[in-house]
């Protein structure tokens, strides 16, 4: 990197800010302030517009690349070596219900002793934890030892009162979109599992294995159970209870309409049936059901999760279930598929949970139940390389590699980082993985499906791959 390259990065930032300014000015809005709590305002909603997303991605990628260039290698590597401290501190803040306590305190904030006493914790230790977070722009220290929410910290506010939260046996995440549960899952079992990545790689038994019980989480928690079995075992009650809410949170990592752009749902009629295989609490299905009020949807899940899902629907969109248009079916996807007349099978964030050999079993069962008109919609990250794709890339209708202006990394670096973090999470929990488009094309072809189209929002590497039976 030369001074010219630094200037080029600076120019990308300047240009992108000018584009943002125009988008906001045109609508007579101001850009949301980091100091203010998140609200579902028009200014917030504008952040999902493709032109705005493109500018935000360029700013994110360029500023992180600029920062990485100008800092000393030792400080860069030290930051990377201690990133887990942010994770640990975030866990404390979430467990303490700090976003909710600070919402009630208002913009003036609350002295750390308020958070400490509500949680029976030592206040000076807690202040240091919140100061680290504030230094990373999560919470604000408005006066010495007085903290307030900011845009980022308030995003994991469940909206519940502190009185509700400290009631015995309360389900903190019930009825929420899942942001806090998502954090809670990552900062607990995923972080602990991830700490054993190296031990797993060098394990004579697990290192070269693609078995679903040879994941870092198996090493970390000394268990031989696959993740979905393990999380239902005694001792994991809290983890299991929050898991469906955490999965709801996966609908927040790109614009809420991403699933709606994932297929031509509007073309489906009341004669059509969508089968959401491993549909979880059914957040993506709920988006589809609200947008297309004709189509029928069956959400298939394991028994306990189906019960959790029904509970969530009855709290948030009871009409879906009451009208009979949406229903849950208990089904394990490693067995034969009972729905033989589906227009669409959805597998959203399912295949990334499993190594290839397990995905093949799932895909073959769906293929056996497919009619010639059935379409398979796989929703997962389509992992870009960190270099220009050229001959390594795949091509398919609707697929275009990310176009990053030089000298940005070809995959937009920090702006695409979630995809790679999720890839490592899939490794950690399941010995699963996120896949490139070509990997998906090969995998589906082996199971009697032909990939025909990609639908992807421009805002992230997350995409929807449509296949037809061959
Ligand atoms: C990552 S979640 C995805 C949920 C949903 N598709 C979504 O995108 O929100 C994976 C889901 O697979 C379900 N699952 C795991 N093993 C299963 C099995 N053998 N049969 C059916 N569902 C299973 C889990 O209960 C979990 O809800």
Q: Which three-class secondary structure string do you get for the chain?
A: CCHHHHHHHHHHHHHHHHHHHHHHHHCCCCCCCCCCCCCCCHHHHHHHCHHHHHHHHHHHHHHHHHHHHHCCHHHHHHHHHCHHHHHHHHHHHHHCCHHHHHHHHCCCCEEHHHHHHHHCCCHHHHHHHHHHHHHCCCCEEEECCEEECCHHHHCCCCCCCHHHHCCCCCCCCCCCCCHHHHHHHHHHHHHHHHCCHHHHHHCCCCCCCCCCCCCHHHHHCCCCCCHHHHCCCCCCHHHHHHHHHHHHHHHHCCCHHHHHHCCCHHHCCCCCEEEEECCCCCHHHHHHHHHCCCCEEEEEECHHHHHHHHHHHHHHCHHHHHCCCEEEEECCCCCCCCCCCCCEEEEECCHHHCCHHHHHHHHHHHHHHCCCCCEEEEEEEECCCCCCCHHHCCCCCCCCCCCCCCCCCCCCHHHHHHHHHHHHHHHHHHCCCCECHHHHHHHHHHCCEEEEEEEECCCCCEEEEEEEEC
- Residue closest by Cα to atom 10 of ligand 1: 350
Structure confidence at residue 389 (pLDDT) = 76
Per-residue pLDDT averaged across 98-120, rounded?
A: 98
Please state the ipTM of this predicted complex.
0.99
- For 318-366, the pLDDT digits (tens) are 999 999 999 999 999 999 999 999 999 999 999 999 999 999 999 999 9
**What separation in Å is there between the alpha carbon of 337 and the centre of ligand 1?**
15
Structure-token match 């988008």, residue found: 23
Give the chain's end-to-end CA distance (angstroms, integer): 49
Is the pLDDT reported for residue 388 higher than 90? no
Which residue bears the tokens 């009451």?
322
Q: What residues does ligand 1 touch, defined as CB less than 6 Å away? A: 228, 247, 250, 278-280, 283-284, 301-302, 305, 332-334, 348-350, 353
**Residues 417-465: pLDDT tens digits?**
999 999 999 999 999 999 999 999 999 999 999 999 999 876 678 999 9
Atom of ligand 1 nearest to the CA of 244: 27
Q: Which of residues 251 and 232 earns the better pLDDT score?
A: 232
From ligand 1's centre to the CA of 324, what distance in Å? 22
> If you take atom 23 of ligand 1, which residue's CA is the nearest one?
278
Tell me how far apart the alpha carbons of residues 227 and 355 are, in angstroms, rounded to a whole number: 13
Test site for ligand 1: of 185, 230, 302, 351, most ligand atoms within 8 A of the Cβ = 302
Top mean-pLDDT range of 36-40, 41-45, 64-68: 64-68
Question: Quick one: which of 306, 308, 444, 326 has its CA closest to 380?
Answer: 444
Rounded mean pLDDT of the chain? 95
Q: Of the given ranges (119-123, 130-134, 239-243, 425-429), which has the lowest mean pLDDT?
A: 239-243
Q: 192, 176, 188, 190: which is closest to 99 by C-alpha?
A: 176
Instruction: Report CA(257)–ligand 1 centroid distance (Å).
Output: 21
Q: Which residue's CA is the closest to the ligand 1 atom numbered 20? A: 332
pLDDT band at 87 (very low <50, low <70, confident <90, very high): very high
User: What's the CA gap between 161 and 179, in Å, rounded?
Assistant: 17
Atom of ligand 1 nearest to the CA of 248: 9
What whole-number distance in Å separates Cα of residue 177 and Cα of residue 73? 39
Q: Please give the distance, rounded to the nearest whole angstrom, from the Cα atom of residue 159 to the centre of ligand 1.
A: 26
pLDDT(128) > 70: yes
Specify the ligand 1 atom closest to the Cα of 333. 20
* More reliable by pLDDT, 370 or 168: 370
Pairing of strands 326-330, 140-143: unpaired
Cα–Cα dist 127/141, whole Å: 9
pLDDT tens digit sequence for 161-175: 999 999 978 889 998
Residue range 272-291: mean pLDDT, rounded: 95
Question: Which contacts of 225-228 are long-range, i.e. CB under 8 A and separated by 24 or more positions?
Answer: 226/430, 227/353, 227/429, 227/430, 228/302
pLDDT of residue 81: 98
Q: How far is the CA of 188 from the centre of ligand 1 (A)?
A: 20
pTM (2 d.p.): 0.95
Considering 173, 185, 287, 352, which one is annotated as catalytic?
352
Token reading at 34: 């980091």
Residue 256, pLDDT score: 66
Whether the pLDDT of residue 253 is over 90: the answer is no
Nearest CA to ligand 1 atom 21: 332
Q: Which atom of ligand 1 is nearest to the CA of 276?
A: 6
Q: What is the per-residue pLDDT for 382?
A: 94
In sign, the C-alpha dihedral spanning 399, 416, 149, 244 is positive
Report the alpha-carbon distance of residue 450 to residue 404 in Å, rounded.
Answer: 29
| Structural domains present in the chain | 3-70 (no CATH), 73-172 (1.10.10.10), 194-251 (no CATH), 253-469 (3.40.50.150)
Residue nearest to atom 5 of ligand 1 (CA): 279
pLDDT tens digits for 196-220? 999 999 999 999 999 999 999 999 9
Dist. CA 140–CA 367, nearest whole Å: 53
Atom of ligand 1 nearest to the CA of 379: 8
Rounded to the nearest angstrom, the distance between the alpha carbon of 306 and the centre of ligand 1 is 10
pLDDT at position 254 is 77
Question: Whose C-alpha lies nearest to ligand 1, atom 1?
Answer: 349
Q: What's the pLDDT at 97?
A: 98
* pLDDT band, residue 182 (cuts 50/70/90): very high
Any catalytic annotation for residue 439?
no
Residue 431 or residue 48, greater confidence: 431
- Phi, psi angle pair for 452, to nearest 5°: -120, -20
Q: Which residues contact 169 (CB under 8 A, 6 or more apart)?
A: none
Q: Which atom of ligand 1 is nearest to the CA of 305?
A: 25
Beta bridge partners of 243: none
Query: Dihedral (C-alpha) 182, 184, 187, 192: value to the nearest 10 degrees?
Result: -110
Residue 115 has pLDDT above 90, yes or no: yes
Give yes or no for residue 63 having a pLDDT over 90: yes
Cα 376 from Cα 262, distance rounded (Å)? 11
pLDDT category, 1, cuts 50, 70, 90?
low
CA–centroid distance, 281 to ligand 1, in Å, is 9
Q: How far apart are CA 346 and CA 263, in angstroms?
A: 10
The residue contributing the CA closest to ligand 1 atom 19 is: 332
Task: Give the pLDDT confidence score for residue 459 in this predicted structure.
Answer: 67
Reported as a single tens digit per residue, the pLDDT across 225-250 is: 999 999 999 999 999 999 989 998 98
Which residue's CA is the nearest one to ligand 1's atom 13?
Answer: 278
Candidates 33, 17, 36; CA nearest to 25 is 17
CA of 434 to the centre of ligand 1 (A): 15
Task: State the closest ligand 1 atom to the C-alpha of 247, by its place in the atom list counted from 1.
Answer: 9
């Amino acid at each position: 990197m030369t001074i010219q390259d630094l200037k080029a990065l600076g120019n990308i930032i300047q240009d992108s800010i000018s584009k943002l300014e125009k988008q906001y000015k045109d609508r007579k809005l101001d850009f949301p302030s980091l100091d203010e709590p998140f609200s579902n305002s028009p200014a917030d909603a504008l952040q999902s517009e493709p032109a705005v997303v493109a500018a935000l991605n360029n700013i994110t990628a360029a500023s992180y690349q600029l920062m990485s260039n100008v800092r000393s290698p030792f400080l860069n590597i030290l930051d990377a070596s201690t990133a887990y401290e942010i994770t640990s501190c975030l866990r404390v803040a979430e467990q303490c219900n700090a976003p909710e306590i600070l919402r009630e305190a208002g913009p003036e904030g609350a002295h750390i002793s308020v958070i400490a006493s509500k949680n029976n914790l030592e206040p000076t230790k807690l202040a240091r934890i919140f100061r680290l977070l504030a230094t990373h722009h999560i919470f604000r220290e408005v006066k010495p030892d007085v903290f307030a929410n900011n845009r980022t910290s308030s995003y994991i506010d469940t909206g519940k009162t502190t009185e509700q939260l400290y009631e015995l046996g309360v389900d903190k995440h019930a009825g929420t979109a899942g942001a806090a549960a998502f954090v809670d899952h990552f900062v607990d079992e995923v972080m602990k599992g991830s700490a054993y990545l190296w031990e797993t790689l060098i394990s004579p038994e697990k290192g070269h294995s693609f078995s679903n019980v040879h994941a870092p989480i198996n090493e970390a928690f000394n268990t031989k159970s696959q993740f979905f079995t393990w999380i239902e075992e005694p001792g994991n009650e809290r983890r299991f209870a929050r898991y469906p809410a955490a999965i709801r949170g996966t609908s927040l990592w790109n614009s809420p309409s991403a699933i709606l752009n994932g297929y031509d749902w509007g073309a489906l009629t009341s004669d059509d049936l969508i089968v959401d295989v491993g549909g979880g609490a059914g957040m993506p299905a709920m988006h589809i059901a609200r947008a297309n009020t004709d189509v029928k949807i069956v959400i298939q899940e394991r028994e306990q999760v189906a019960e959790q899902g029904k509970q969530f629907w009855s709290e948030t969109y009871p009409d879906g279930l009451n009208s009979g248009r949406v229903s849950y079916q208990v089904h394990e996807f490693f067995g034969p598929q009972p729905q033989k007349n589906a227009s669409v099978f959805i597998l959203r964030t399912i295949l990334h949970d499993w190594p290839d050999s397990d995905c093949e079993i799932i895909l073959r069962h769906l293929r056996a139940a497919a009619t010639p008109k059935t379409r398979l919609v796989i929703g997962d990250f389509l992992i870009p390389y960190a270099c220009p794709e050229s001959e390594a890339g795949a091509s398919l209708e609707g697929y275009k590699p990310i176009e990053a202006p030089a000298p940005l990394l070809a995959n937009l670096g920090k702006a695409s980082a979630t995809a790679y973090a999720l890839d490592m999470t899939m490794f950690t929990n399941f010995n699963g993985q996120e896949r490139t488009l070509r990997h998906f094309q090969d995998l589906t072809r082996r199971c009697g499906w032909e990939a025909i189209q990609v639908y992807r929002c421009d805002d992230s590497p997350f995409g929807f791959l449509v296949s037809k039976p061959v």
